[in-house]
A = this chain, B = another copy of it.
Amino acid sequence: MPEPATPHLWVKIDLGNERQIGPGKIALLRLVGERHSIAAAARDMKMSYRRAWLLIDELNTIFAQPVLTTHVGGKSFGGAELTPFGVRLIERFDVITRRTEEAVRDELAALATEIQG
């Protein structure tokens, strides 16, 4: 019988005016930073280039500073690099994820005992 998984949180941040950031956009941004390419990150996440581009564009629109810079040419629709602000946004989201999870660890453990076997 598989071990019951510990419950964990899925945290989104509602920034008002229908602007949200959550684990999906942050995972994409992180991957773009690692792959230096929106196209490669899109493939890794099994989403279309267009969808990935729209999500990144949404992040760039939400914040006063861009999260990413792209340069024309090169492989895969041009390279992409996180800006220092983009790097900081990912770090901030990771802090939020870690701290929220720690803040309710006992409640999540209690919930785990109440789940149907």
A8 to B14, CA, bound (A): 5
Kindly report how many copies of this chain are found in the complex they form together: 2
Q: How far does the Cβ of A63 sit from chain B's closest Cβ, in whole Å? A: 5
Which A residues between 42 and 66 are near B, CB-CB below 8 angstroms?
A: 61-65
Chain A's interface size range is: 35 or more
Contact stretch, chosen from A29-37, A68-76, A105-113: A105-113
Chain A contacts to B: CB under 8 angstroms: 4-5, 7-17, 19-20, 22, 61-65, 85, 89, 92, 95-96, 99-100, 102-104, 107-108, 110-112, 114-117
Please determine whether A15 and B7 come into contact, CB atoms closer than 8 angstroms: yes
From A95, which residue of chain B is reached at the shortest CB distance? B107
